[in-house]
Homo-oligomer: A and B are copies of this chain.
Amino acid sequence: MTDVVKKFEPLFEPKSIAFIGASRNPLKWGYQIPSNLIEFGYNGNVYPVNPHESDLFKLKVYRSIDEIPEQPIDLAVATVPSRLILEVVKDCAQAGVRALIVIAAGFGELGGEGAGKEAEMARIARDSGMLLVGPNCAGVVSPEPRNLYCQMPPVKTSPGCIAMASQSGNIGKTIQDLATKYHVGISRLVSTGNEAFLHMEDYLEYFGEDTRTKVVASYVEGVDDGRRFLNIARDVSRKKPVVVLKVGRTQAGQRAAKSHTGALAGSREIFHGACRQAGLTEVADVEELFDTITAFARQPIPRGRRVGIVSEGGGWGVLAADACAEFGLEVVDLPEHVLKQLDSFLPSWWSRGNPVDLVGGMVDQGVAKCAEALLACDEVDGVIALGVAFLARQAAEYRRRAASGTSKLASPALYEQIADIAIQRDLEWIGELVKLIDRYQKPMVIAADTVFTAYEDKNEALFALMGEGVMVYPTPRRAARAFAHLVERHEYLASVGAV
């Protein structure tokens, strides 16, 4: 275990947690955070602290942190109001608490007296060797190894390989919502708040060394020490993709960021140039952030910009071709031997070009066979596959008809039977696709409009893909953008001699 990993152990893998300001009022942080933690099955010891209560959450309550018999405490979470915070920080430092999260706002972002208090809490933490997260933050999540969901939003994201440090609790929560929706897992999530003591780059450094983390995400409003941030970010990005959503790109955004966390956003151009040099992947939006980290989480890095497109429908193929070109990808001319191979199983009137249009999926195993022909070709660096699991729409509707029992045409049993056949076919194709990604070690980025309703319909085929960690994008454009970010990563790694 490296020093950095050891340093962050009490924050992301705590064996004990104290809640200072624990409360019985369900509207308060002091209720919501510990109750989420307990309900989601945290595997460790929980100690509520409140001088006016005797039992909370079916646990004994302690009057102060130093009365807890287990010492030292790995992690303390302070949910008391800002005026009481300095006392709490002192008490925790004195009791030897190893990491402290301060939830309350009302410090550096207000300037003046608030900023003074924030500097003071940082000083205490530094002097005592206690990690300090926040203030003005939402908490921390680490599904493994201890089921740690220590935050305000009651969202139980599943375990995975994506770590995120966010200067907004709000944005961290959005990523969790997206992850939940698309069945994507995370390794760590921390809401960094005002960063009185621990800064964005400290978390990035940890993620770089954390063996549970393969992909790093960061939402940045501003950084105090640009040089340190970039030095660390550069080191991390040699090892793992680091995807940064930087805001304050405009004057309006800078003003908003300043009032939010007191961040002073620097010039857009300088930050952009520095990011490029450090090998960071920049994104403009929270959906683009999610689309990009999920691509990195599962897809191999392509060796170039040459894309083959396979589409179940003509329109989506055209959208993808435009989007690829607009994102700087090359919709490559397929060599004659690949065209001939495709001729052998596509209908005679197929378009003999890229995109490969399956003309409404009339070909059995069509997507997988075409995708394999493209992946096997040296002139193709990766594939965008569109419209997989298209029988899902039929299956869902047939099941609705079966369940309603009001069909005018067929028995519920017959509709169930057709639906099962459709799902079974989708599932077979999906299984093939996942194998191809691993066999050829080239990316196959997938989009399907059936994801729009996949959740209500409990689409087994798309769920199967997601279960394998393969993100299914809702549009060709978003798939192409994700592919382009994979290519940028290859080009960066090549530029520094790392591939």
Contact = CB atoms under 8 A, between A and B. Distances in A.
Given A255-B321, A315-B166, A318-B221, A349 B106 contact: yes
A401 B410 CA distance: 39
Interface stretch (A60-68, A175-183, A209-217): A175-183
A359 interface: yes
A145 to B, nearest CB: 20
A51 interface: no
A249 B450 CA distance: 26
Interface stretch (A227-235, A257-265, A487-495): A257-265
B167 A315 contact: yes
A217 to B, nearest CB: 13
Nearest to A314: B260
A384 to B, nearest CB: 12
Interface of A: 26, 32, 35, 38-39, 57-58, 105-106, 110, 153-155, 166-171, 173-174, 177-178, 180-181, 219, 221, 247-253, 255-257, 259-261, 284-287, 309, 312-326, 330-331, 349, 351-353, 355, 357, 359, 387, 393-394, 397-398, 401, 407-410, 418, 449-450, 452-453, 455-456, 474-478
A324 B256 CA distance: 12
B110 A349 contact: yes
Given A286-B475, A319-B247, A173 B449 contact: yes
9 contacts: A168-B315, A169-B313, A178-B449, A181-B453, A247-B319, A252-B322, A257-B318, A260-B315, A285-B475
B285 A401 contact: no
Given A168-B315, A255-B321, 11 more contacts: A32-B394, A35-B409, A38-B408, A57-B409, A166-B315, A249-B326, A256-B320, A256-B322, A259-B351, A260-B317, A286-B476
A438 to B, nearest CB: 28
A252 B331 contact: yes
Contacts of A359: 105
A102 to B, nearest CB: 15
Contacts of A57: 409
Contacts of A478: 287
A154 B256 contact: no
A39 B249 contact: no
Contacts of A477: 284-287
A306 B443 CA distance: 43
Q: How many copies does the complex hold?
A: 2
Given A260-B314, A394-B154, A453-B181, A325 B253 contact: yes
Contacts of A178: 449, 452
A294 to B, nearest CB: 14
Contacts of A35: 409-410
A483 B407 CA distance: 43
A196 B110 CA distance: 66
The A interface is mostly helix, strand or loop, or mixed, namely: helix
Nearest to A355: B256
A359 B110 CA distance: 13
A105 to B, nearest CB: 7
Contacts of A260: 314-315, 317-318, 351, 357
Contacts of A251: 325
**Which of A106, A177, A322 gathers the greatest number of chain B CB atoms within 10 Å?**
A322
A170 B321 contact: no
Contacts of A167: 315
**Which of A170, A320, A357 gathers the greatest number of chain B CB atoms within 10 Å?**
A170
A285 B247 CA distance: 24
Nearest to A410: B35
Given A110-B349, A409-B58, A450 B177 contact: yes
A363 to B, nearest CB: 13
Contacts of A352: 259
**Which of A110, A260, A324, A477 gathers the greatest number of chain B CB atoms within 10 Å?**
A260
Nearest to A177: B452
Given A106-B349, A408-B38, A452 B181 contact: yes
A79 B476 CA distance: 29
B453 A456 contact: no
A393 B475 contact: no
A143 to B, nearest CB: 16
A26 B168 contact: no
A423 to B, nearest CB: 14
A171 to B, nearest CB: 4
A234 B214 CA distance: 52
A353 to B, nearest CB: 5
A349 to B, nearest CB: 6
A147 to B, nearest CB: 13
